[in-house]
Amino acid sequence: MKNKGFSTYKLREECGIDSKTIRRLKANENIETKTIDKLCSALNCRVEDIIEYKK
């Protein structure tokens, strides 16, 4: 987010991601796939750039 100039405020206001979801993102908790889509669109990145699978 820093590299793209995005703050949590900008995610909330411009991308429609609510503060509860941002809290879950920061805590590495579960989020919905539509949120992942919003993040990728806002940050102009691929899913692999923001998600890592761990067993």
Tens of pLDDT, residues 12-52: 888 888 899 989 988 989 999 999 999 899 889 999 998 88
Alpha carbon distance 27, 5 (integer Å): 21
Q: CA 23 to CA 21: how far, in whole Å?
A: 5
Structural domain count, the chain: 1
Residue 26's domain spans which residues?
8-49
pLDDT at residue 36 in the model: 92
Give the pLDDT confidence score for residue 26 in this predicted structure. Answer: 86
3-class state of residue 8 by DSSP: helix
Question: Does residue 42 belong to any structural domain of this protein?
Answer: yes
Q: What is the pTM of this model?
A: 0.75
- Under DSSP, is residue 25 helix (H, G, I), strand (E, B) or coil? helix
